[in-house]
Amino acid sequence: MNSIILHHYPPSLFSEKVRALLGYLQLDWQSVIIPPIMPRPHLMPLSGGYRKTPIMQIGANIYCDTEIICRKLNSLSDKPDLYAAGFNAERVARWADTELFRTTVALNFRPEAIAAQMSQMSSADLEAFQKDRAELSGGSAIVAVDPTSAETHFKSLMDQLARSLTTPFLFGDLPSIADFSVYHCLWFVAGNTANAHLMDPWPPVIDFMARMREMGHGQFKEISAEAALEIGCQSRPSLSDEPRVDPTFAGKLTPGIVVGVSPNDYGRTPVVGVLHTWTENEIIILRDDALASEIAVHFPNIGFEVQTVDL
């Protein structure tokens, strides 16, 4: 099997979710550091224009969004199933990736947090970053919580979280997918010098963070974006022989139809390809890229929209 390649950049909070998971699962991987803003010329032939970070690559299979990335990594490990706790753990993970995420992002948009975060950036870099994020949002609200209210919201959430941590992890003695989703949001808060103190009143949360950090990021080596693209160009997608499109989720859409898949919140640039798979947890389209040839792009079922495309 081709190696796991993670396209990411160090301050990306959703990338930290995957890095921590790779550490816990003890999976070897390769790291491609991408710029935090566009353009990403060596990644776009693989991803088809998907804008969010991180993206995972295994040969000519590309995984967009941490929900599908985490499910794939879970399937590759001999560790206990991260989804064994069932519906409750998955709902907490979804809550963390949405509500808790929005609150922690809003914390980092307070004036003092912005000053701390941007203090090392030149005025030109800051202008480029702001322009890129405006294009990414496309008029949608990335920061859906008022930054002036974010601290109050965060304190309420930390109260609830601290009361829930009666075991080493949220659902027992072993971590579940919920722990990684909660962790990466709190990691984002702790990484900003203006916000790090906000968790001080909750020792159970601080202890939980320490347990998660101890997992590390596993064994990895750096490779270039050019090398990752070459791997994609030289590989073929690894898929089941027969398309699997469940009408429960796809409705009247059938295998072979050309569709565009896009997030339903922000970064809504559609990735266009031929529908191959649509099941409870996964959507797969096949792209024929001029440079990378045939690429399979994987998305989660939840959080994405599928529209037919006329070519």
Question: Radius of gyration over alpha carbons of the chain, in Å?
Answer: 19
Q: What is the reported pLDDT for 14? A: 97
Using DSSP's 3-state secondary structure scheme, residue 291 falls into coil
Mean pLDDT of the chain: 92
Q: Where along the chain do its domains lie? A: 4-79+220-308, 87-213
Q: CB neighbours (10 Å) of residue 204? A: 14
Distance CA(145)–CA(141), nearest Å, equals 9
* Mean pLDDT on 26-36: 97
Q: In the predicted model, is pLDDT for residue 216 greater than 90?
A: yes
* Architecture, CATH, for domain 4-79+220-308: 3-Layer(aba) Sandwich (3.40)
142 pLDDT higher than 70: no
Pairing of strands 55-58, 304-308: unpaired
> At 240, is the pLDDT very low, low, confident or very high (cuts 50, 70, 90)?
confident
Whether residue 182 is predicted with pLDDT greater than 70 in this model: the reply is: yes
Q: What pLDDT does residue 227 have?
A: 98
Residue given tokens 């989720």 in the structure block: 249
To the nearest 10 degrees (0 to 180), the angle between helices 177-190 and 87-95 is 20
- Residue 139 pLDDT > 80, yes or no? no
Confidence tier at 138 by pLDDT (50, 70, 90) = low
Output the pLDDT for position 123: 63
- Beta carbons of 196 and 209 less than 8 angstroms apart: no
Cα torsion through 181, 187, 192, 195, rounded to 10: 80
Question: How far, in Å, are 24, 113, 203, 277 from residue 74 at the CA level?
Answer: 10, 34, 30, 20
Contact predicate 28/3, CB 8 Å = yes
Q: Which of 58, 64, 27 is nearest to 236 (CA)?
A: 58
- Mean pLDDT, range 51-72, rounded to an integer: 97
Q: What is the DSSP string of 80-103?
A: PPTTTTTHHHHHHHHHIIIIIHHH
- The CATH class of 87-213 is mainly alpha
Distance between CA atoms of residues 230 and 82, nearest Å: 32
Percent of the chain whose pLDDT exceeds 70: 92
Q: Does the structure show a pLDDT above 90 at 242?
A: no
Structure token pair of residue 154: 């965060």
Query: What is the pLDDT at residue 137?
Result: 59
Q: If you average pLDDT over residues 306-311, what whole number do you get?
A: 90
Q: Is the pLDDT higher at 178 or at 242?
A: 178
The token pair at 132 is 């890129």
Least confident of 62-71, 123-132, 142-151, 283-292: 123-132
Strand, helix or coil at 159? helix
Contact 206, 112 (CB under 8 A): no
pLDDT tens-digit series, residues 94-127: 999 999 999 998 998 888 988 887 766 666 665 6
- Please name every residue paired with 289 in a beta bridge, in sequence order, or none if there are none: 293
